[in-house]
Chain A
Amino acid sequence: EAGVTQFPSHSVIEKGQTVTLRCDPISGHDNLYWYRRVMGKEIKFLLHFVKESKQDESGMPNNRFLAERTGGTYSTLKVQPAELEDSGVYFCASSQVGLQYEQYFGPGTRLTVT
């Protein structure tokens, strides 16, 4: 069974550009989470989808971040326009309904904004 996959693994963009990160959860996992770790800091929760619905987006830093999960399968996280402080590693995780603490994490996307 494939794990959580994320694309790209690395992205380097200039300030002001747009970047879209993709996460493919484990098949059958209705819960999908985004987290990020900015340099030297803790991993912080961004948002949580249940199927295609946003269950909790309290961790989204500002309106430059837009997350979608059309059809309840893969999810995208768009940053537009990117700022220097957006640099970090963005993790995606998924879990089955009712097993919210059994989250499986992807390898992360390292985003560098120059």
Chain B
Amino acid sequence: AQSVTQPDIHITVSEGASLELRCNYSYGATPYLFWYVQSPGQGLQLLLKYFSGDTLVQGIKGFEAEFKRSQSSFNLRKPSVHWSDAAEYFCAVGALDYGQNFVFGPGTRLSVLP
């Protein structure tokens, strides 16, 4: 069965610092990979996605993620965090043989110190 792990439940960084959120997945083939963010009171918003091609993917709000097949990872990065980035981040996997649905990781809550 597919699974997604996000090892860090809660991360705190200072504003302006760099950020990396980890995501590992378990799946037999190359899945479709996604990062979503949920700010307080808001729905899940898609940050970026990887389907194929260049393994470094650029997203909205200055985020990027790198697909590493050998490590089954899809880590999310941002070079300089803003206070407005404080939110919960979800990694998700989708795959053709799983139909049209996502398998989500448990989420990482990001706090940003001024």
CB-CB < 8 A to A40: which residues of B? Answer: 106
Interface size on B, residues (CB 8 A): 23
- Interface flag for A64 (CB, 8 Å): no
Chain A: which residue is nearest B99 at the CB level? A56
Proximity string of chain A (39-52) to chain B, C-beta cutoff 8 Å, 1 when within and 0 when not: 01111110010000
Proximity string of chain B (43-68) to chain A, C-beta cutoff 8 Å, 1 when within and 0 when not: 11110010000000000000000000
- Interface flag for A91 (CB, 8 Å): yes
- The verdict on A45 contacting B106 (CB below 8 Å), with A4-B43, A101-B94, A104-B43 known, is no
Chain B positions near chain A (C-beta within 8 angstroms):
4, 32, 34, 36, 41-46, 49, 90, 92, 94, 99-107
CB-CB < 8 A to A3: which residues of B? Answer: 43
Other A-B contacts than A40-B106, A43-B102, A104-B43, 11 sampled, CB-CB below 8 A, are A35-B102, A43-B44, A45-B101, A45-B102, A56-B100, A59-B101, A91-B43, A103-B102, A105-B44, A107-B41, A108-B43
Task: For chain A, give the interface size range.
Answer: 20 to 34
Q: Which of A14-64 contact B (CB under 8 A)?
A: 31, 33, 35, 40-45, 48, 55-56, 59
